[in-house]
Structures are given as C-alpha cells and as structure tokens.
Structure 1
Amino acid sequence: MTHQLNVLSGKTTWLSSKWHQDIIKKFHKCWVPDFKNTPNLSGDLGHPKHKLENIKYIGPLSRFNKQNLDISTDILVILSGPEPQRTTLEKKILLELKDKKESVVLVRGIIEDKQQITEFNNILIYNYMTSKELETAINSSQLVVSRSGYTTIMDLAKLGKTAVFIPTPGQFEQLYLSEKLSKEKIVPSIKQEAFSYSDLKWNKNYSGFSKMDSEIDYKKLFSLF
C-alpha cells in the first residue's frame, strides 16, 4: 500500500520513481489510499502518466470519524515535523495569533511523559493530544492550520474540514501536495516565511474538503481475499 507511485526527490525523481514502480510491479495488487479520478488528493504522486496494471484506488484512509459537534474552536493549529522548522513555525504562529479575537487551540506535536496544557492569552496550548482528543478537536474546529503531510490531508478529507496548509520547507512531497490543492481551489497554501494572521481569513473561493466523499466499501475492497 502506498500513495507514492511517483517518489518526489528533486532532480532524481525519475530514478526514485522507476525503482519504486519496479518493486510495485512484483505484487499482485497495490492499494493506493486516494480517489481514482479527479478531484483526488495525491495528484501525480498517486497517478502516474504510465498506468500500472496492478493498482487499485481504495479512497483515503483515516483513524478518525466525522462527528457532528458544535464548533468550539475558531482555529486549531496542529504542528508536526522535524526541527528546527517545527519550532520556527510555532514561534511565528504564537506571535501572529496572540491577542486576537479568535479562540485558538495549538497542538505542539511534542510527545512527553505527561500531557501539559497551558494558556497564552487567547491560545490554549497542548504539548500533545491523544488520537481521541485530536479527533474531537478537529471535528469541533472551524479552521485547521497544519503541515501538508499526506496522512493529515487524508484525515481532513475524511472529516470534511476547511484548512490552511503551511508546508515544511525543503520537503518535496509537502510542497507539491499543498501547491496542487491550492491550485485546485481546495485548500490554500502559505509559505512558512510569509505566513501572517491575515492568511487565516477563509477565502470562499476555496471549497475545503467538505465535498469529497471518503467512504470506503470494505466488502468490495477485501473481496480480493
């Protein structure tokens, strides 16, 4: 199972993609967690120009379930990824969102022995959340701000959320995915160094993930076995 039928690696993308596809061809079936047709989530990553015969698109996968909860948070910020970029973005977000009228929940994405919750003006800060807490937080938020990793994209698609992506600098896949979804007017993408509070005013020209049907027919899927 993979969403990377093409592996983006800069100038060596053609080579890394060929190697990966040669491995995939050895299997009877390769599941791709995305939609077969457009609009889809992975773009060229999961939809190569030269089709592989053993590919089956199964729809996006997520550990979360959509819940009809009241909106209690205006902006939910989910941080993740390598340092020092994670800390750089955290500092910038705190600077931009402090003292604003919106209620903000920030999940730092730092796993420690004990969960810590602190308040900074209008911002409620968690060092981490459990999966269940994060599911509730996303479902009860108006807008999600996060990196554009594929797992996050699938989660937000499953929950039908509006979002703003800030891709991690230097990560080819995140940069490609955020640019693709922005060009298709699904989710806006903002460069980390250019991010500001004004970027969080939702642009109605974007649809968000609300119109994507992410339900999977598991009976049909497992008929392979």
Structure 2
Amino acid sequence: MGHATRCIPIINELIRHDFEPIMASDGFALQLLRKEFPKLETLELPSYNISYSKNPRKLRLKLLKGTPHILKTIKKEQKAIAEFVKMTPISGIISDNRFGVRHVDIPSVFVTHQLQVLSGNTTWLSTRIHQKIISKFNECWIPDYASEKNLSGILGHVENFDATLNYLGPLSRFEKQHLETKYQLLVILSGPEPQRTYLEEKLFHELVNFNGHICFVKGVVENEQSITRYKNMSIYNYMTSVELETTINESEVVLSRSGYTTIMDLAKLEKKAFFIPTPGQFEQEYLAEKLESEGIAPFCNQDEFCVKLLGQLKDYSGMKFKESHLNYKKLFSLFQSK
C-alpha cells in the first residue's frame, strides 16, 4: 500500500506534464489507485502474495521459503509487460519495487529507498541481489534527500554502487494545512497480515484509557467505507487520500508503523509521531531507531506498547525537515521521444 500511495504524486505530475499514465498493480494497492484515479487505465499484475510470519523470529525463514514463488512472479511480470507493450505503445515505465516491470526497449525506472536491504547477518546478500536488480533499469529514483540530513539513512545512501541514481526528495501525496485540531491521536494501520491485525487488537485494548478523541484508520481497503464509534474512538476501515490528508492535519499526534512512505507523509505535514515497527522487519526497526536517536520521534516494540508511553512525545521535536522542490520536467525527460 505504501508503494502505491507514494506513486500518487508522481502520477499527478505525469498528468500535469501531459502524459497519460497507465497504473499497473494488484490487490489492495490496485483498488486504492483505482479509487484515486477512476478515469485512468489499469493493468492487473501477478501478485507476490507476501505475508508475514506470526512469529517475527521466523520471518526471514518464511521469506526465504517464498523465494521460488517471488522468482516465478517476476517472470510473470516480465511476460505481462512484454505482452502489454506489444498491444499498447508506451514511452516509459516507472516501477516502484516491482522487479519484473521493465522492458529492454523502453526507458525503465526503478523507485526505491533501499539501495541497501537490511536482513540481519544476510544484509550483504540481500543488498547485492537488490542492487543487481536495480542495475537492470535505466535509472533509479530515490525518494529522499541526497544530503546528510535525510530520512532513509544507510538504506538510501551507499558508496561504490555503479548505477544512475536520482534523489527526488521525499514523495508525499499530502499538503500541510493549518486546521483546527479535531483528534488528539490518529492511529494509522498498514502492512501485511497477520501483524496488522495483531497491532489493531493491541491498540484497541490499550487506547480505551487514552484521554482524548482518537481517529482509528484500520488500513483495510474494501468496496465501501465504514465508520463506527467505540468509546473514545472514531473507527474507519480506510480513508481516501483527501480524507486522510485532512485528518492528519487535524490531529495532534500520529501513531503508526515506521514504514517509509508513512515517514515521508508525516515529514511533509510536520507532525509529531509515535512509531511501532512491524516485528521482524529490519527496515522499519532501523528507521524507528534512527528517528529516535535523532530526537525526532519515540518508538517501542509491538508487545511493549502501553498508553503511558505516548507521554514521551513531549521530549521529541517531531517530523520537521527542509522542504524540497523537484524539477519534474527534467525528471520526465527520460521518457520524451527522440
């Protein structure tokens, strides 16, 4: 979902620069993009069907066992793109972490903030594999600052990688608005199951003791939006981009996973945040630790959360970074016909 939402500003800019985007994805991500851009053409891609282990310690083993399926999916993606290109002339491909979405005869871009992929004692191997994939694309777009003060840290900044890298600055579909505070706490859930549900249940139990109004967005995209009330909570199954933008601006504090797209959104809106990384996901754990060490936002492990920990927020600065300006005309010149 995060990969889909951070593509929204790119899609909007493509339209603004007179391109006709075709959106390719699967599952909830494709549903979300169709809701955001109902008039655009779409292509359904084969699904990676990645899920997380119930036991975080076994996550790496589960992902390793799923490698054959991932490799098959990459080949299916390549085949789907090859067949699509035969029927539909296109001027470029932008792939946000879809390994097989590229074409040898068409300028192809890979979007990622992970030039280094953390996986514990196998980081060297996962990084090498990822960089090999990136090298097959014409360019790699990194949604982060190129400077020392950045969001992704060692993930998006490496040395001695021979590829065409282009730092875009953070990508967010949102704009900062000065609105009256409606919620003292906004909870945004996301990510693969079963960990999304585990956190939902944990937070429902803990936050009934929170002193203030809570907006709870479960992050489950369904055909119809549902809104329920429970004690001090207004509970949504999902929100559109416009709704979520407004709600974040109306909230004092955001509690969420430390996913990179969420971090970019909260940085754009300059919010105070409390993070709970997905158990076993090295990237989210690293990002949460980085932001805490820099005095920006506190975090805790999923099993350790209690409402009292939110009191730590007063000691942190919040998500405040410099504003970035991207020259999209220059960026999209890769796709201009020769």
Question: TM-score normalised to the size of structure 2?
Answer: 0.62
Greater C-alpha radius of gyration? 2
SS of corresponding position for 2:246: helix
Q: Alpha-carbon deviation of 1:113?
A: 2.4
Cα distance in 2 between the residues matched to 1:100 and 1:155:
24
Cα distance in 1 between the residues matched to 2:145 and 2:162:
15
Select which of 159, 162, 165 maps to 2:275.
165
- Correspondences of 1:129-148 after superposition (within 5 Å): 129-148=239-258
Distance 1:208 1:223, change over 3 A: farther
Q: Alpha-carbon deviation of 1:19?
A: 2.3
**1:9-64, Cα deviation, whole Å (9 max, x unpaired):** 23221012112223334445322110111221111110114354622211011111
Partner of 1:203: 313
The answer as to whether partners of 2:292 and 2:299 remain within 8 angstroms in 1 is: yes
Please state if 1:127 is matched with 2:127. no
The answer as to whether partners of 2:276 and 2:300 remain within 8 angstroms in 1 is: yes
Please state if 1:118 is matched with 2:225. no
Query: Whose helix proportion is higher, 1 or 2?
Result: 2
Partner of 1:8: 118
2:283 maps to a residue whose letter is E
Q: Alpha-carbon deviation of 1:99?
A: 4.5
Cα distance in 2 between the residues matched to 1:61 and 1:51:
23
Cα distance in 2 between the residues matched to 1:39 and 1:13:
23
- Of 193-202 and 19-28, the range deviating more from structure 2: 19-28
The answer as to whether partners of 2:297 and 2:313 remain within 8 angstroms in 1 is: no
Partner of 1:182: 292
1:56 maps to a residue whose letter is N
Q: Alpha-carbon deviation of 1:124?
A: 0.7
1:71 maps to a residue whose letter is T
Cα distance in 1 between the residues matched to 2:120 and 2:311:
32
Question: TM-score normalised to the size of structure 1?
Answer: 0.91
Structure 2 stretches lacking a partner, 5+ long: 1-110
- Of 137-146 and 28-37, the range deviating more from structure 2: 28-37
Cα distance in 1 between the residues matched to 2:262 and 2:210:
26
The answer as to whether partners of 2:169 and 2:326 remain within 8 angstroms in 1 is: yes
Select which of 165, 171, 178 maps to 1:61.
171
1:144 maps to a residue whose letter is V
How many corresponding residue pairs? Answer: 225
What is the RMSD computed on CA atoms of the aligned residues?
Answer: 1.9
